[in-house]
Amino acid sequence: MSTAHWSTQDTPIGPFTTVVAADGAVLASGWTADPADLTTVMSAALAPAELRHKRDLGEVSKAVRRYHQGEHDAIDLIPVRQRSGEFLEHAWEVLRTVPAGKPVTYSDFAALAGRPQAIRAAASACARNAVALFVPCHRVLRIGGALGGFRWGLDVKRWLLDHETPAV
């Protein structure tokens, strides 16, 4: 991959930066203003030779704005690209099917990914997810509802889960 673009947007929970391939697929994203925080978690096979700032990333930037404004499904159709082993890639695809407002446990996630005994592998898929928000690993909790971990901090995870909880 030669050149990718990045952009940072203000969100209610801090700056959110996205790195996008030339074809529009998200390669990395998270709540940081520094794209270097993202390139270190990206698969080496996908790392761009050059990273250029772009004020707006079109549909990707629009989806980030819409999500933070309450349109939780705005991120669903944005293409993402991650590389790893077969299970992790499958697990990331499965994460994209977990609906907003309906978090699952790590055990549930392992079962959804087809390997109910692979709870640690499911947790590893969350920990190694380079495209936060678009692959919503924040929707996975410990049994009993404890947050577990989140690369961008538990305050961010809590905000996202609260944001996605339907109003009663």
- Determine the number of helices (DSSP H) and then strands (DSSP E) in the chain: 6, 6
Catalytic one of 20, 26, 88, 137: 137
Position 167 pLDDT exceeds 80: no
Residues 6+ apart with CB under 8 A from 162: none
pLDDT of residue 34: 96
Task: Please say whether the beta carbons of 46 and 81 come within 8 A.
Answer: yes
Mean pLDDT of 136-161: 94
Confidence of residue 145 (pLDDT cuts 50, 70, 90): confident
Position 49 pLDDT exceeds 80: yes
Position 1 pLDDT exceeds 90: no
Return the ∠ at Cα 153 (arms to 150 and 156), rounded to 5°.
100
Alpha-carbon distance of 149 to 141, in angstroms, equals: 9
**52 C-beta neighbours (distance < 10 Å), count:** 10
pLDDT of residue 168: 63
Q: Is 66 exposed, middle or buried (0-12, 13-18, 19+ CB in 10 A)?
A: middle
- The rounded percent of the chain whose pLDDT value lies above 70 is 98
pLDDT of residue 2: 82
pLDDT of residue 132: 97
Mean pLDDT of 122-131: 95
Radius of gyration of the chain from its Cα atoms, rounded to whole angstroms = 15
3-class DSSP state of 108: helix
Task: Please say whether the beta carbons of 18 and 30 come within 8 A.
Answer: no
Q: Look over the chain and give the mean of its residue pLDDT values, rounded to a whole number.
A: 94
* Active-site annotation holds for 137: yes
Confidence of residue 89 (pLDDT cuts 50, 70, 90): very high
